[in-house]
Amino acid sequence: MKLEFVDALTLAHPFIKGFEQVLHCLTGAEVRAVAQGDISDAVKKRKKEDIEGQEGSSTVYSTTFYIGLAIQPKERTLHRSLALVRGYPPCLRSITNSRRYRTP
């Protein structure tokens, strides 16, 4: 999504200070999941001492940056318009047409 095309957006302000995080992973699958942003509770709670001496374990360092957005609220409208069609059902039209003719 490109922020330039959002009409309700009034201000986009990037936070210049990132949030750093150090995660300790046991397997390559956990490293790939962390790289995609899918961090499990087990990985969050794991300490460096838990992975020492284990083959295939690694430490992942990440920094997350955020963008603050100011959005203009939508205007609320109380008026709702409905398209009303004025017309008669077909059976009423035939009844009114038959009354116009005089019988001899």
Assigned domain for 103 exists? no
Whether residue 88 is contained in a domain is answered as no
Q: What is the pLDDT of residues 8-24, one digit of tens each?
A: 888 888 898 999 999 99
Quote the pTM value. 0.55
User: Tens digits of per-residue pLDDT, 51-96?
Assistant: 888 888 999 999 989 999 888 876 766 656 555 555 555 554 444 4
- What secondary structure does DSSP assign to 38-63, as a single string? ---HHHHH--HHHHTT-TT-EEEEEE
Cα angle at 21 between 16 and 25, to 5 degrees?
150
Q: What is the pLDDT of residue 84?
A: 56
Please give the residue range of the domain that contains residue 16.
Answer: 3-76
pLDDT at 72: 84
Condensed to tens digits (0 to 9), the pLDDT of residues 22-45 reads: 999 999 999 999 999 899 999 999
The pLDDT of residue 104: 52
pLDDT at 11: 86
Residue 93 falls inside a structural domain = no
CB half-sphere exposure, 32, CA atoms < 13 A: 4
- Total domains, the chain: 1
